[in-house]
Amino acid sequence: MSAQTVPARSTTAPTRKDDQPSRAGARRRRWWLDIGWKYLFAVIIVFYAAFPLVYTLSAAFNPRGSLSAATGLFSEVTFANFIALGDTKFWTWMVNSLIISSITAVGSVLMGAAAAYAFSRFRFKGRRTGLSSLLIIQMFPQALAFIAIFLMLLAIGDVVPALGINTKLGLICVYFGGVLGANTFLMYGFFNTIPVEIDESAKIDGATHAQIYWRLIFPLVMPILAVIALISFIATYNDFIIARLVLTSEDNWTLAVGMYGWVSNQLQSNWGLFTAGAVIAAIPILILALSLQRFIVGGLTTGAVKG
């Protein structure tokens, strides 16, 4: 009699239709715990960052000139505030700001790059102490010395009137006094990433230090130079305390100083005019940031890696 083969029983329980909703719910919970909360957090951050900008635009297009009138976002949309800027000295202040900020940014790049190249490539007594001193001094804001700056410009103005109080050149020189420090230290870290062999090979070919700096090193450190130029431009463009101290006449004011007068008096403040000017004033910074965007990330990260 032949033995009959008994089929093996399945050890796995059949899938019930009732388990499918529970599994789908588990997948949704797992998605929210792993990824979903990130989207929610991103939406909150975007709303937190974008709402002041939207509110500012609403106030700029509102003709009533008060922030309370802009509570209903874009309830009224006119260009009255932008047209009214033509009756003020707004464009004179903007030209002053662009001139001062541009010259300061270029000077900051040239002075900082020269100092960083010297600290990176040359070995001299006090080199490490000088670097540390620049960094420590930069920790104190320039506004702490505004009394000394005012007295110094008064004394210089008696000898060289073009560098005294109420001169744009005098304000630029004050800004030049604060360009070293953290900027030089950041450039120094970037210069250290450039191989020294480039300098040595150029010296063998008979190149001078100036030729090595301008023709070889300077193009290679362009990312950090763009970053420093952007930082210096924005800091100078938005500065109020030093500019208000040095510039006394209305024709020499910068945007920060001039526009502050529109809202400094609580009873006569015109926030519509102020926000319209702020929107236009942000355009040069936006254009500069977008044009230097490809340098910003590389310049900051590379300069911070190796010191």
Q: Is pLDDT above 70 for 299?
A: no
Lowest-confidence range among 41-45, 107-111, 132-136, 161-165? Answer: 132-136
Q: Burial code of 55-78, b = ≥16 C-beta within 10 A, e = fewer?
A: ebbbbbbbebbebebbeeeeeeee
pTM of the model: 0.79
- Of the pLDDT bands very low, low, confident and very high (cuts 50, 70, 90), residue 283 is very high
Condensed to tens digits (0 to 9), the pLDDT of residues 261-279 reads 888 876 677 888 898 999 9
- CB atoms closer than 10 angstroms to residue 263: 15
Condensed to tens digits (0 to 9), the pLDDT of residues 198-227 reads 888 888 888 888 888 888 888 888 888 988
In the chain, CATH 1.10.3720.10 covers: 88-305
* CA–CA distance, 207 with 215 (Å, rounded to integer): 10
CATH 3.40.50.2300 for domain 88-305: no
CA 125 to chain centre: 35
Q: Is pLDDT above 70 for 8?
A: no
* CA–CA distance, 223 with 227 (Å, rounded to integer): 6
DSSP per-residue string spanning 161-203 = GGGSTT-HHHHHHHHHTTSSSHHHHHHHHHHTTS-HHHHHHHH
- Of the pLDDT bands very low, low, confident and very high (cuts 50, 70, 90), residue 90 is very high
